[in-house]
Amino acid sequence: MQKRVVMVLLTALLALAGTACAEVREPSSGGGGKQSGPIRLAVVPKAVGFDFWEQVRIGAQCAAKESSGSKVEVQWDGVTAETDVSGQVDLLTNFVTQGVDGLVYAATDAKVLYDVTKQARSQGLTVVNIDSGTDPQPKQVPVAATDNVAAAEDATRLLAKELGPDGGDVAFIPFQPGTATNDTRTEGFKNVLKEEPQLKLVAEQSSESDYNKALEVTENILTANPGLDAIYAANEPGVLGAAEAVRRAGKVGDIVIVGWDTAPDEIKAVDEGVVTALVAQNPFRMGYDGVNLAVKGIRGEGQLKSIDTGATLVTKDNLDDPTVKAILDPSCGNKPPVTE
């Protein structure tokens, strides 16, 4: 009996010794402290299955691989549709529950996802937004993203230039009102409409970030507006759906299409003259800079500041430019230019 008691006490003492020798991990900078040792980050896009978000993943994993010091592990996951706000909330909440050290994510809904950021920070996690932030955007949560208003203004001015001094009828295909990216791209577009009264907005219908929906709404717009001169599409599915609708209508060359993102089929449409210009963002750098910001915050290496990851207008004339090529086909060994 005494031998059994001694064994139990010895086991307890060994357990205590093991605990004493274990690494102590302080709260991340999201809670005001700093942490050494391995870092686990959840990196969550708006949705998986899109070329844009795949480039974000490549950038995030590159940053983790290159990180000096302790190991950085990226756990990548996402919902399958950018409209699945509740699904993204559940996914991020699960990551918080699992005890990751930080969240790097693109908000599908600015107001709804603010609560997730608030919860994560209250538990000591560092949070970084990429591509799309929240409303409100906490000052301690940086955003690595495109200046969507400025880029949208540049794209719309190009559209106006293509139509000439007489202007024309323009259709707008947004994708998800309520998201920061959708709303700021709308803002930039409509800012220029005010400057250019010769541009007449005759239709506005959402693609809901779905190719088939974008095709359907564009066909409806073309039917209702046979004299349509231009289309501004605010993301990849919208551009692809609009381009196909214009092809089917036999109006390639008659309608100017300006839009966002640079999936392979979008670039092909530019090369074929179906699409006039695309706003090339820098999704690789969103993932890369987002992870680096989170690691910096978790390690307590100074105040985190938002980063403008840049944007470039891609046309048929600059498809072979080395800088454009690096943005369109990035890799860890061929990183796109850094925006300072």
CA distance 310 to 340: 9
pLDDT tens, position by position, 8-67: 333 333 333 333 333 333 334 444 456 778 999 999 999 999 999 999 999 999 999 999
For residue 298, what pLDDT is reported?
A: 96
For residue 13, what pLDDT is reported?
A: 33
For residue 73, what pLDDT is reported?
A: 97
Number of neighbouring beta carbons within 10 Å of residue 264:
10
For residue 60, what pLDDT is reported?
A: 98
CA distance 224 to 242: 15
What are the two backbone dihedrals, phi and then psi, of residue 116, each rounded to the nearest 5 degrees?
Answer: -65, -45
Task: Flag the least confident range among 113-117, 176-180, 266-270.
Answer: 176-180
What are the two backbone dihedrals, phi and then psi, of residue 228, each rounded to the nearest 5 degrees?
Answer: -55, 140
Burial 227-245 (b: 16+ CB within 10 A, else e): ebbbbbbbbbbbbbbbbbb
For residue 36, what pLDDT is reported?
A: 72
**pTM over 0.75, yes/no:** yes
For residue 189, what pLDDT is reported?
A: 98
Percent of the chain with pLDDT over 70: 89
**CA distances in angstroms from 242 to 28, 41, 172, 229, 279, listed in the order given:** 45, 37, 10, 13, 15
For residue 5, what pLDDT is reported?
A: 35
Structural domain boundaries in the chain? 27-146+283-309, 148-280
Say whether pLDDT at 340 is over 70. Answer: no
Mean pLDDT confidence for 161-178: 96
Same fold, 27-146+283-309 and 148-280: yes
**What is the CATH topology of the domain spanning 148-280?**
Rossmann fold (3.40.50)
Give residue 149's pLDDT band: very low, low, confident or very high (50, 70, 90). very high
pLDDT tens, position by position, 181-216: 999 999 999 999 999 999 999 999 999 999 999 999
* CATH 3.40.50.2300 describes domain 27-146+283-309: yes
